[in-house]
Amino acid sequence: MFGGVNLLNAQNTAMALEQAPLLRDSQAALNRLRRMIIEASAYAQEGHIPSAFSILNILWVLYTHILQIDPKHPDTLDRDRFVLSKGHASLGLYAVLADKGFFPLEELDTFGRYNSSLGGHPDTRKVPGVEASTGSLGHGFPMAVGMALGFKIKKQPNRVFCLVGDGECNEGSIWESALLASHHQLSNLCCIVDYNHSTDRALLMGDLAQKFNAFAWETLTIDGHNEIEILEALTTKTDNKPLAIIAETIKGFGCAVMENEPAWHHKFPTEAELETLIEGLS
């Protein structure tokens, strides 16, 4: 269910219901991508698998139903922009980009290897479809705000979507950027917070929707693994305000062994674990 300010209208809901069969059919594809992510991490002995799984549903809906972008021509000026500010979840983005045709699926097998374009953090100079080099938490969101402001100044229709982590919201640059975005009424900007509560052990973030509201944003709170809710939220229009979507997620979602298990944060599967993890994908 949605929380915060519910801006959904009948048109959004009708579109979501129309897309429902397609969204349900995506589950097989998502499990295939989860397997590829696990295998890529195991082969590279690197990667943040649970962080990638946490955001996979959101990325899938964005690149399947929302973003106006052509994988064959990823640099066209009229494209929408997506910034993965929590860059350590790069495997999730790489899997979706490869599946959508930005680069060959086989390239995922090179993740983390010498001379591979697919590093632990995404590099806009090397990977087609990556709009910003991110990884240092709190850096991607300010870049997204700058993109959105530039489009508004130029009166261009491009939209900007940025995904940040809940732990990343500890960074002061997030709130400085949030204040700037609301001041300039960037209704072409959407910030998605992956609220998987992984930072709770260090610092409780509390009601993030309330915090964004305090910075004069419109907010929605959704189930970050329910693709109908994700689609409805991402198609919500605001009036002269940026939109924050607080996506309640489970770290490691789709793999029972990893779900909400801190030990898996930056751990790669051993050869003995690989088959068991793949068999356990939901």
> How does pLDDT run across 35-81, given as a tens digit for each residue?
999 999 999 999 999 999 999 999 999 999 999 999 999 999 999 99
Average pLDDT, the chain: 92
**What predicted TM-score, i.e. pTM, was given to this entire model?**
0.91
| Domain residue extents for the chain | 3-279
Q: What tens digit of pLDDT does each residue of 122-153 get?
A: 999 999 999 999 999 999 999 999 999 999 99
Q: How far is CA 278 from the centre of its chain?
A: 23
Among all chains, which residue has been given the structure tokens 């090179």?
110
Q: How confident is the model at residue 16 (pLDDT cuts 50, 70, 90)?
A: low
Determine the pLDDT at residue 280.
83
pLDDT above 60 for 11: no
For residue 28, give the DSSP letter.
Answer: H
Q: CA torsion angle for 207, 96, 64, 196 (degrees, to 10)?
A: -10
CB 37 within 8 A of CB 177: no
Average pLDDT for 100-108: 96
Determine the pLDDT at residue 27.
85
- The radius of gyration of the chain from alpha carbons, rounded to an integer in Å, stands at 18
Average pLDDT for 143-166: 98
Q: Give the pairing type, strands 218-223 and 3-4.
A: antiparallel
Q: How far is CA 260 from the centre of its chain?
A: 18
Distance CA 133, CA 27 (A): 29
Lowest mean pLDDT segment, chosen from 44-53, 84-93, 231-240, 272-281: 272-281
Determine the pLDDT at residue 269.
93
User: Which residues, other chains included, contact 228 with Cβ-Cβ below 8 Å and sequence gap of 6+?
Assistant: 16, 17, 19, 20, 23
Determine the pLDDT at residue 281.
87
Which of residues 157 and 10 earns the better pLDDT score?
Answer: 157
Backbone angles phi, psi at 188, to 5 degrees: -90, 10
45 token code pair: 């002995």
CATH superfamily of 3-279: Thiamin diphosphate (ThDP)-binding fold, Pyr/PP domains (3.40.50.970)
Determine the pLDDT at residue 66.
97
